[in-house]
Each structure stands twice: as C-alpha cells, then as structure tokens.
Chains A and B, each alone.
Chain A
C-alpha cells in the first residue's frame, strides 16, 4: 500500500480561504494561492480545494483560482464545489486539477459518478460525503438525505469513484478528533482509498484516523499556523506513521 497521506484542505468562498465550525460561522483565514503554495512547500502530500459556497450560490467553481494554484505547486491537486456535469469537471482538469470531487450533484443524480469515471478514469473522481453521525447531508450540510454514509459510499464505488472523501459534520472544525467509528465503517465497506475529514486537533487524532483511513484531511489545525504542517509531520513520524 502507498504511504499514508496528509492533505491540507482549502475551503474557499468568495476567492478567500475560510473555515467554520460544523460548517457554520465561516471566517477568513487567508489567500488560497499563498496558503496552497506554503502547504506544497511544507510537505503536503496533496492539496484539496473546495469551493464551499458554489452549490449554494449556484455558480461554478473559481476556475482562474485553480489555474493560479496549479501553476505554483507540484503535488496532486483535487478540486470540488459546484461540479454538476462532465463539462464542469473537464474545465477544472484543464485548469490544472488532477481530480474533481462531486457531492450534492452526485446525490441528486448518481449517474454523474458513472459518467465522470468512464471519461476521466476512476483515479480522477473523488466522491465527497458529508455525514452527520451516519446520515448523509447535501448542499454543504444544509439538506438532509435519506441515505446512510456506508450505503452511499458503496454505491459511489460501484459507479466508479476512485476515492471517498468522508467528512463528519459533527466533528468539523472542533479539533476534538475524527469520527473514527464512521470512518472505519466506510473504509471497511469499500475497496477504494478513504480520506478522513473533520476534527483534527492533535497528531494523535491524525494517527488514529490514518489507522483506519488512507489519508487525513487537515484544515483548521493548519490555517492559523501553516508551519504546523512540518511539526505535525515530525510528530506523526515519532508516533510511528510512515510518511514520505
């Protein structure tokens, strides 16, 4: 198996990186291009960029921002938020994204995952799942669905998702630790890699997540102090996590 991955996540709204708690009270924490470059230079294994308001505002993802970030970094780059069609996805890949994430649009029309995977390859398609407990929510957490996370993850995999990005809304921004039970349940249910998201506060939290998932998403823990990434990597190595 490849090495466990640390993936800084830039939640972007209105061209700025923002962070909230449990998806609420978004605060401005910086410039996406500067932060993206700092993380890339600081040892990030990948970057994720989510336009968190794209679905709610009904506008496309900020393609020019993707272009600027892609020019500055030399690590894999995943982009999502407001991806509703193959055209949307191809526009992002053409701008320099390596993978796209789909969330709300895939819940409304699961065939989207099948279409993206057939054309772009499974490795370019990440299905993002926002879950409250085990219940899937759509539209940046604002809307309940009838799906549970394990069932939806299985369907997404069957439809050709190459990775599952699982965010616990309960844990998001709390720095109290990942939802390990939910993450383990989803990781056990699928054979594709799972990225754990929501709740990182300490190196131990991240290690615990990497014991059950293949990658850990990091946001709040980094944004106030981007140099935290390097010290986190050191602490994780001391805890026995084999990072690159």
Chain B
C-alpha cells in the first residue's frame, strides 16, 4: 500500500504523514499511480489552490478521479474537491465533486472541537467553511461531515487528530483501497 500526500506548502502535513505511517502505508510522490492520494486540510483555500496548481497536482488529481482511483480529502482538502469556495472572496476549486464551500453562519466560528458525526462518535473539527453538496454521506450538527462521490471520499473532520476513532476511520479508507487491488 502506498499513499501520495499532496503537499501544497501550507501548514501541518506531518500529522497526516505520521497517521499513515502508523498504518504501514509507504509514501510516494506519484499522485497518479499511488494506491491512495490524500489531499490534506490546512491553510486557506486561495493559497492552497495556488500551491496545488504550482505543483501540477490539480491536473493529476482530476485525471486520477476520472480513472476512478481513490482520493481522500481532509477538511480543507474536502472543500478543495468541490467546484468553488466562498473563502478569500471566492475561489475556483478542483470540481471533482458537485457543490461549494460556504461560510458557517451559526455558533462560534471557527467551529473548533470534537463533535459527533451521526452515530459514529466524536471527531475533531476545525473549520470556518463547510460543504454544501448533494454528495453528503455524513452529518455533524447539521453540517456536512463526510462526502462520497465516485472514487473521492472527503471528511470535514481531521481523522489524523481524532484519536483511536480517527485512526480506525483512516484504516477503513486504506482497507477499501487495498480491496480494490
């Protein structure tokens, strides 16, 4: 099992790396051929999209998605997979998944902390924007917590920061990739 983690030059990629290393996944630079491509989630939408384009990851991720190869988007990584984001005055995103990221308008923002996802237990969230999409498969307090569309899986929470429950979530993603091979 190998995994390509799309580093777009912002924030903490290390937690995601450590989490996949714990699952014995080897890291590769080959975004197209990896068993799993991960789009991590830290930073702001505009600089993240610019970072992806700069590295050519935007094209590779689109091609990968067309081929039906698994992609996992975490937090901002989920939002980047949508068509557009309201963040930073409006940003065109990858368009792998129909929908858009909109600013959260209720409660304290950023929405930071552990919150239940349906009946699956509490995961850690840290976000000011959330997906509005017909592809939602998980919810947390009325906010889209998980999206599945074709070979793309996105989670608004941070599984790499969600203790044993988060580790189990990542393991399931990895197992699904392995069962395709």
Contact = CB atoms under 8 A, between A and B. Distances in A.
Interface in B142-181: 158, 160-164, 166-167
Interface string B9-43: 01111110011000000000000000000000011
B89 interface: no
A121 B76 contact: yes
A186 interface: no
A193 B125 CA distance: 13
Contacts of A74: 15, 19, 160-164, 166-167
Given A74-B163, A76-B126, A45 B11 contact: no
Contact of B42 (A70, A75, A93, A118): A93
Contacts of A193: 108, 110, 112-113
A15 B168 CA distance: 33
Given A74-B163, A121-B43, A97 B112 contact: no
B115 A98 contact: no
Nearest to A45: B114
Contacts of B47: 119
Interface string B114-130: 11000001101111100
A244 interface: yes
A94 interface: yes
Contacts of A17: none
A120 B51 CA distance: 13
Nearest to B44: A121
A97 B11 CA distance: 9
> How many interface residues does chain B have, given as a range?
35 or more
B111 interface: yes
Contact of B108 (A70, A71, A96, A214): A214
A123 B12 contact: no
A71 B18 contact: yes
A2 interface: yes
Given A70-B15, A96-B15, A5 B113 contact: yes
A4 B76 CA distance: 23
B161 A120 contact: no
Contacts of B44: 118-121
Most B CB atoms within 10 A — which of A5, A74, A97? Answer: A74
Contacts of B112: 2, 123, 162-163, 193, 214
B113 A123 contact: no
B111 A2 contact: yes
A97 B141 contact: no
A191 interface: yes
B158 A120 contact: no
A119 B160 contact: no
